[in-house]
Amino acid sequence: MEVWLDDAIEDQFLTAYPILKKLDIIGYLAVPTGLIGGGHLSIAKVLRKCMTLDQIRALVKEDWVIASHGVTHLQYEYGRGFADLSLEETEREARESKEWIIKNLGIIPEIFVVPEHNLRAEQASIILKYYKRIREPFPPICIHALTNNPPGSEWVNAKWFEDYLRSVKECSDTET
């Protein structure tokens, strides 16, 4: 089962990671390398702190799959998205994010996750020079932000997330 955490938001490390560990599920993390260790991303117009390098290294030690999510994670909310990049900028995002992951995490990323899932065909060709694949836009299980707030809040509720993953895992265990 692939469970993706996009954007390397610190809440994901503090809330989703313990749930996945308890359920013995190895996750996939899409890392916007230029924001690690102090950057923030806007999720539903709320600024969320990104993970630290040490937090990501802890996930690597647990055999998580680390994917590149570019360097800058451009967002249309701020007027410019990934599809607006020139081909040179696209290449720089792909190359520099891969180099950062190799240098700082000691692994070679094979997957690129396009920020906001918008790209042009010629950008895909450039990205595939550096990565084995580009992740599909909406994998079955992909979480951007979790909270311990009650169900119905703007974030995915942690208890619901755990119950959901437990039921999916039980179904997949009975199918094998």
Domains of the chain, earliest start first? 3-169 (3.20.20.370)
Residue type, 116: E
Residues 68 and 109 sit within 8 Å (Cβ to Cβ): yes
**Backbone φ and ψ of 6, nearest 5°:** -90, 145
Q: What is the pLDDT of residue 45?
A: 63
* CB-based contact 62:19 (threshold 8 Å): no
Digits of tens for pLDDT over the chain (176 positions)?
889 998 898 888 998 899 999 999 999 999 999 989 887 776 656 678 889 999 999 999 999 999 999 998 876 556 678 899 999 999 999 999 999 999 999 999 999 999 888 889 999 999 999 999 999 877 777 776 665 554 444 456 778 788 888 888 888 766 65
Long-range contacts of 125-130 (CB under 8 A, 24+ apart): 126/87, 126/90, 126/91, 126/94, 127/90, 127/94, 129/91, 129/94, 130/94, 130/95, 130/98
Distance CA 27, CA 100 (A): 20
